[in-house]
Structure 1
Amino acid sequence: MTDTSPKVGLIDLQIMWNRLIAVVGEQAQVLIRTAFSPIVRECGDISAGIFDLKGRMLAQAVTGTPGHVNSMAEAVKHFIRHFPIETMKEGDAYITNDPWMGTGHLNDFVITTPAFHKGKLVGLFSCTSHLMDIGGLGNGPEASDVYMEGLYIPMLKLIDQGRVNETLMAMIRANTRLPVDTEGDTYSLAACNDVGVKALSAMMQEFGIDSLDPLAEHIIEKSRAAVLAEVAKLPKGSWHHAMTVDGYDHPLTLEATLTISDSGIHVDYSGTSEMVRRGINVPISYTTAYTVFGLGCVVASDIPNNAGSLAPLTVSAPLGSVLNAPKPAPVSSRHVLGQMLPDMVFGCLRQALPDRVPAEGTSCLWNITVRGERRNPGKANPVFALTITTNGGTGGRPGQDGLSATAFPSGVMGTPVEISEIQSPLMFWRKELRPDSGGAGQSRGGLGQIMEIANNDDAPFELLAAFDRIQFPPRGRDGGSDGAPGYVGLASGAVLRGKGLQTIPPGERLVVLTPGGGGLGDPQARSDAKLAADRRNGLVSDEAATRLYGVAQAAE
């Protein structure tokens, strides 16, 4: 096919590139504003992006999680394989939640929509969001295979030239505890893509182009070259790092070897523990997503995320390991290990670039996933199911303290207490920073949180626990102390398991203490002004200031 678009200059291409980023930003905001699930509407657990006809990601919304964005980047290629470009029609939309062709677990729906301009297919929009409930055992690690984890949607056509697949929608509604929310979230995904399609067509009309091909090549080539230029500045060689994590019923080892060469950076996870029988296994797409995000944070933080900037960053893991678990492995809580991988990357890179990486943080989200039945539901759904997003502290950074109660690397925001209490009969009796939880150091680790939650209905509720960093807390570096380990229990004193389905009895309060980030550098080198501010603000107790920082009790 002959390209009839006028030739465009470098400045025009750069303006259009920025415009594409604005288009996908609008796409993402539509998804967030129309979603039913609080984890999307309040916390931003999404991704949105535009792709060329080869399935290459050209731009992503800056709002979104790396696990969604960087795995969705490969998902579109699977859609094209199942639905060839020449068969796509205006008004079509395709859907899947296949963990190995999507974003790693069944709770994430991916919808891809072909974009037409003047009757010609010019690109693809894709988006992802986390749905609160898609049936099965729920969003916890209890299942022994993926089929127990909920409704499994293969690559299917959701909308055929504007006509919704009502049979599929009926199947989706019938396989969830929250049919209204799940149906609404599905339509919000399709709607945000439609907005992107219209915005793209308007942009192409404004700039007088009929094809994205020249712009796509410009974006891919410039981004790849920019990353390689940054890689060229780095020392060449290989570095190894290992980490022990809690696992499900026994500790697991993560091992990585990072190699920097002229052609890019490769991370290999040989030596990592084998996959387990519970749902903390990670598909390779999710492993890749968080690994390359960690690399990007250090090596290419100022370069837009797209297929070109991702190309020089590659990942491998032995098939059958916990970081490359094949179907039908249970993967519902794949974030528990997958979100540890930036820390694995940082552990390798600190040997080559010690002044550019932080100490270990909580990393994996401490999502409080709960469900139960309302005593007096009225018009509301008699069943509630909710994921309350929370996290602990990040590790101390070169020249800066870690961030407290911050979800790095996922990037999602914490669920507001008011939203949790509206969506369920639960009440938060306590939610505050956890003093002394940040590891001591010249740069202190970020603090975790203390939460106490009870059921206002004086009824039991279920906790689908998927927590880590309890047995093995975030490690300090260069003389910094470890962060405080996490804890899950009852106010009456009973200790709960970090993973698995457990029932909170009526009248009891669930107590959750999230971990603190590791400290960076010798605590004795911390500035007096920063330590005084920590004590004044209640972040570090007098006892800890004396024990860890060597400050006299009477000192301010």
Structure 2
Amino acid sequence: MSNASGTSLIDLQIMWHRLIAVVEEQAQVLLRTAFSPIVRECGDLSAGVFDLKGRMLAQAVTGTPGHVNSMAESVKHFIAHFPIHTMKEGEAYITNDPWMGTGHLNDFVVTTPCFKDGKVVALFSCTSHLMDIGGIGFGPDATDVFMEGLYIPMLKLIDQGVVNETLMAMIRTNTRLPIDTEGDTYSLAGCNGVGCERLVEMMNEFGIDTLDELGDYICDRSREAVLAEIAKLPKGSWRNSMVVDGYDAPVTLAATLTISDAGIHVDFDGTSPASKFGINVPLSYTTAYTVFGLGCVVASQIPNNAGSLSPLTVSAPSGAILNAPKPAPVASRHVIGQMLPDVVFGCLRQIIPERVPAEGTSCLWNLNVRGQTRSGVGGNYGFSMAVTSNGGTGARFGKDGLSATAYPSGVRGTPVEIAETQTPLIFWRKELRPDSGGAGRTRGGLGQIIEVGSGVDAPFEILAAFDRIDHPPRGRDGGRDGEAGYVGLKSGQKMRGKGFQIVPSDDRLVVMTPGGAGIGDPRERAPENVRDDIESGLVSSDNAVAIYGRAG
């Protein structure tokens, strides 16, 4: 059986799988060579291969949806700035423009043209999170993007094999972590190079000179598969809204989801206006997490590429917090953007409740910590680290939620051993938070209790960017809400959920991450599940009696 051009469909399918393997190796190179622990230990990255039309043909399984799906748009901007016919072998391009990249300055995007026999055949692109890019730091306190750090326009990082040393000097000079930041930049360029080598090997093996036919096959088949899944759903529009903490005032996230023969469109009209603080979201990041949420429910078995993404579209009013224009501050865009799968799930549960979870913590509860050491020790100035932490996910229709799990971001939690090696901090507690999962027929996942103090006679800063403190995840169909989050000092002082604050050297930071919400009447929970929860220490005996009506 052959395609219209004569290429065997089996060969096309094998090449498609090979492309996915190529970009996975690309991602693994980035993972293993990165300097920042949030990339190396937690997988906060993305990698993908694109055709000359700017279509993403394959993405690595390793990576986060916020990076992958927004990076998919950034490649089109690279092509506009560096047209295909002008590209030369040995070039690589870079930006961290939030509106052309992945939503804030702390993510670098590097794109590299891949040459075969002297001609451009594809583009490899990758993204990773850099811990410090100058400015006031990785927190939500800035009032415009220029306060948030070094802003790199579309530039050549490498020009025909020669590194742009002027740019590298600017990058090193504008960060508190010059060693890490320089190393991460080279790591990005290096992984693209490996991708190029593997792609050329594959093309030689299969005797092809372009990706045109393969690209059309991938995109057409993927689009058809997603549309086939959408066709099984009822047509119409459904609405949902959710209130989250915001910075200085609550934020309403409102969505109208419309299903038609052409696909699924989500419109965020009715959402709160942009904030004056750095929790705003560029539209590319809004789109990234919205379509990821849709894909998880509607097309979870279909590979992520330009074809599978094309039937899923998003709009938000200009000036809304989900479509904040430059120069709005956007450093902590994840706090709002990662709530969007829950918002669209609220629409989808009205038609396919059995496939949609209850609300969860959603946004990462990263401990963004910073402090001083002797200036210039090891080439860096003090320490700065995002200790990735997570709460519970919402209950599923037939299963409990996941405890201390990052959904939708997908990043792993930072190992305590790594955090204590990289910083002078000591983690005194890091354990599941009993009774934090919302009760229900199926229970929400549990949050965590984390206690951390300074290991030296010096305070440290917490650049807080937490949510679900005033507005915890909401239960569904009689299920209870997840437990709200909490931030404070061990001495008893409650701290703000957002903003720079000091943890004294003789005190400790206490963070309790939220639990996911439950689904269904708790009295309908299976007795053996209640008993297992009590025996495992996930639910206290008192709560079991009061909420579930049984003591195990």
Does TM, normalized by the shorter one, top 0.5?
yes
Cα offset, 1:505, TM superposition: 1.1
Q: Do 2:339 and 2:362's aligned partners in 1 also have CA atoms closer than 8 Å?
A: yes
Partner residue in 2 for 1:325: 324
Partner residue in 1 for 2:413: 414
Partner residue in 1 for 2:144: 145
In 2: Cα distance, 1:305 partner to 1:487 partner: 36
Cα offset, 1:9, TM superposition: 1.0
| Residue pairs, 1:95-110, within 5 angstroms | 95-110=94-109
| Residue pairs, 1:37-76, within 5 angstroms | 37-76=36-75
The code of the aligned residue for 2:51 comes to D
| Residue pairs, 1:318-467, within 5 angstroms | 318-374=317-373, 379=378, 381-467=380-466
Query: Which runs of no fewer than 5 residues in structure 1 stay unpaired?
Result: 1-5
Partner residue in 1 for 2:532: 533
The code of the aligned residue for 1:321 comes to A
Cα offset, 1:379, TM superposition: 4.5
In 2: Cα distance, 1:437 partner to 1:263 partner: 41
In 2: Cα distance, 1:271 partner to 1:379 partner: 50
Cα offset, 1:368, TM superposition: 0.5
In 2: Cα distance, 1:198 partner to 1:43 partner: 26
In 1: Cα distance, 2:166 partner to 2:90 partner: 18
TM-score, normalized by length of structure 1? 0.98
| Residue pairs, 1:161-176, within 5 angstroms | 161-176=160-175
Percent identity over the alignment?
Answer: 74
In 2: Cα distance, 1:88 partner to 1:523 partner: 61
In 2: Cα distance, 1:377 partner to 1:169 partner: 18
In 1: Cα distance, 2:404 partner to 2:162 partner: 44
Cα-to-partner distance string for 1:201-255 (whole Å, 9 max, x where unaligned): 0000111111110000000000000000000000111000000110101111110
Secondary structure of 1:355 counterpart? helix
In 1: Cα distance, 2:478 partner to 2:65 partner: 30
Cα offset, 1:27, TM superposition: 0.1
Cα-to-partner distance string for 1:249-302 (whole Å, 9 max, x where unaligned): 111111000000011000000000000100000000000000000000000000
1:308 to 1:252, Cα distance in 2 relative to 1, 3 A:
same
1:376 to 1:196, Cα distance in 2 relative to 1, 3 A:
closer
Q: Do 1:372 and 1:384's aligned partners in 2 also have CA atoms closer than 8 Å?
A: yes
TM-score, normalized by length of structure 2? 0.98
The code of the aligned residue for 1:366 comes to W
In 1: Cα distance, 2:377 partner to 2:332 partner: 33
Partner residue in 2 for 1:271: 270
In 2: Cα distance, 1:503 partner to 1:299 partner: 44
Query: Which runs of no fewer than 5 residues in structure 2 stay unpaired?
Result: none
Question: How many residues in Structure 1 have an aligned counterpart in Structure 2?
Answer: 549
Partner residue in 2 for 1:25: 24
In 1: Cα distance, 2:35 partner to 2:229 partner: 41
In 2: Cα distance, 1:444 partner to 1:540 partner: 10
Cα offset, 1:7, TM superposition: 4.1
The code of the aligned residue for 1:461 comes to F
Q: Do 1:375 and 1:457's aligned partners in 2 also have CA atoms closer than 8 Å?
A: no
Q: Do 1:431 and 1:452's aligned partners in 2 also have CA atoms closer than 8 Å?
A: yes
The code of the aligned residue for 2:137 comes to G
Secondary structure of 2:355 counterpart? coil
Cα offset, 1:374, TM superposition: 2.4
1:213 to 1:26, Cα distance in 2 relative to 1, 3 A:
same
1:177 to 1:376, Cα distance in 2 relative to 1, 3 A:
closer
Partner residue in 2 for 1:181: 180
Q: Do 1:374 and 1:457's aligned partners in 2 also have CA atoms closer than 8 Å?
A: no
In 2: Cα distance, 1:21 partner to 1:545 partner: 47
Cα offset, 1:381, TM superposition: 3.6
Partner residue in 2 for 1:3: none
Cα offset, 1:382, TM superposition: 4.7
Partner residue in 1 for 2:479: 480
In 1: Cα distance, 2:274 partner to 2:264 partner: 25
The code of the aligned residue for 2:178 comes to P
The code of the aligned residue for 2:199 comes to L
Cα offset, 1:386, TM superposition: 0.5
Cα offset, 1:376, TM superposition: 9.8
Q: Do 2:281 and 2:321's aligned partners in 1 also have CA atoms closer than 8 Å?
A: yes
In 1: Cα distance, 2:374 partner to 2:434 partner: 36
Moved over 3 A (4+): 375-382
